[in-house]
Chain A
């Protein structure tokens, strides 16, 4: 089981807005450690999508946004597009484990 908890799947029609939750604990997200989000397309390595809670690397569309509150974080995808079909992972640091921790991944399906 993953240290961070994500829903296994979410879906939405093209143009809709979907959100993915990521729940941690007092030793990771709740301790103030930043949350990152990665997008993984089939057969490829994860790609950084959001860093330090709500920042986008160059080239990532502004349809993607992140937020964090308490022991949880969220990724929102606005104006859903077919190319957004992928698995999305959240990631943070855990002080008890002294290393990075991940969510189990959420598969986004565009209906």
Chain B
């Protein structure tokens, strides 16, 4: 059973925005957090942020705050990542990846690692 399925490739102009989707299996949606990570030729793998798909709470990497928005649609078990004001250096493959939520007497937390990744969505920013 495929756990995370992402939307297809996108080509955008500088200044535009792009919204990438990541549809999760039911088990993934109920037990995991979802991270977004991008991969560029020059910067390698770069963590962008995390969303709790059940309540939509988010934490963004400082670099992307104000320009990235992560949202969730519980009716379709899908999370979204939107980047605004695209620049040429936003050209990358964008991945969603899941992170197990652990709950105990002290509360809930994530393991901060990724046991399964989506297939990736290439985004090209070109004029």
Q: Which residues of A contact B (CB under 8 A)?
A: 2, 33-34, 36, 38, 44-48, 51-52, 57, 89, 91, 93, 97-105
**B115 CB within 8 Å of chain A:** yes
Residue numbers in A under 8 Å from B62 (CB-CB): 97-98
Query: Nearest chain A CB to B103's CB is how many angstroms away?
Result: 18
Inter-chain contact B44/A105, CB cutoff 8 Å: yes
A45 near B112 (CB under 8 angstroms)? no
CB distance from B30 to the nearest CB of A (A): 20
B44→A2 contact, CB < 8 A: yes
Per the bound structure, the CA–CA distance linking A99 and B35 in Å amounts to 10
- Residues on A with C-beta less than 8 A from B113 are 34, 36, 48, 51-52, 91, 100
Whether B35 pairs with A100 at a CB distance below 8 angstroms is: yes
| B interface residue count range (under 10 / 10 to 19 / 20 to 34 / 35 or more) | 20 to 34
Q: Shortest CB–CB separation between residue A33 and chain B, in angstroms?
A: 7
- SS class of chain B's interface: helix, strand, loop or mixed? strand
How near does chain A come to B61, taking the closest CB pair, in angstroms?
A: 5
Among the listed A34, A46, A51, A102, which residue makes an inter-chain contact with B46, where contact means beta carbons less than 8 Å apart?
Answer: A102
Could you tell me the distance between the alpha carbons of A38 and B115 in the complex, rounded to whole angstroms? 9
Are A101 and B47 neighbours in the complex by a CB distance under 8 Å?
Answer: yes
21 contacts between A and B (CB under 8 A): A2-B44, A33-B112, A34-B113, A51-B113, A51-B115, A52-B113, A57-B115, A89-B44, A91-B45, A91-B113, A97-B61, A98-B62, A99-B47, A99-B59, A99-B61, A100-B35, A100-B47, A102-B37, A104-B44, A105-B44, A105-B45
* Closest residue on chain A to residue B6 by CB atoms: A45
A79 to B46, CA, bound (A): 31
The chain A residue sitting closest to B120, CB to CB, is A45
